[in-house]
Structure 1
Amino acid sequence: MTEEHNAKVEKSDDEWKQELTPEQYQVCRCGGTEPAFTGKYWDTKTPGKYLCAGCGSHLFDSATKYDSGSGWPSFWQPATNGAVTEKTDRSFGMVRTEIVCAKCESHLGHSFPDGPPPTGVRYCMNSASLNLIPSGDEK
């Protein structure tokens, strides 16, 4: 990969506010969470690629999406190694693993060790942080 392809996306808070919807901004830049069973992708079965709403990086594939029963889109692995980054989240009196986009550091959701084989990990993401590109619609 070229250095440009790996380059971090850095924008001012005002730029993020202009480019994202209010819900996307709250989730991606402020670490918010959409209510369970309300996001546009929680029960979507459309084949395709899930991209970061902030920068367009390819984060997840529909082939690794599954119904976790949680009410949020869940995946058992990212699209590629290095697509997402883990951070320790100590909010709300608990310790969780926050998942952010490796390129723009948009908050995506959290991971939990109760996912299906082969990874055993549940990447529980917010629909607001993702954009689905259906198979065949890639440019």
Structure 2
Amino acid sequence: GPESTEQLREWTTLMQHNANAAAVLIEVGLLGGLPVRPSDFALAPLFGLAYVVFSWLMRGRWTESGTPQFLYFFLDTTLGTHTTIALAVLLMVLLMFYAAFCALDGVLQLLGGGATTNAIAVIALASVVCRFRD
């Protein structure tokens, strides 16, 4: 229910999410300068796989007691097939976002690229993903 997500609606949590989203968008859109090409499609799942493996390797190191602690419930290996299904869904979402960023990168190149065009794209995307109230 709503009370189970109450912590996610706190001002501090929202600002942490916004800062992370803004930092990623600024890095990708303004500072990085690397093209997002369809030919590099296999790199997105490899990055995701590296994160999952890192999370699994660290599961016993997040707490002093050494009890398994997973960063997200869908990475919890004790959930059986639910974890497998969640990871398959996450893979599809990751690939959809990669395809969306490939398309956006192509559109930005058609518009001439440059700092102004990229800044407008960063602001537009930030307005979609950043929240200031729930």
TM range (shorter): under 0.3
In proportion to residue count, which structure has more helix? 2
* Structure whose residues are more often strand by fraction: 1
Q: Normalising by structure 2, report the TM-score.
A: 0.24
Which of these two proteins has the greater Rg computed from alpha carbons? 2
Structure of greater relative contact order (alpha carbons < 8 Å, 6+ residues apart): 2
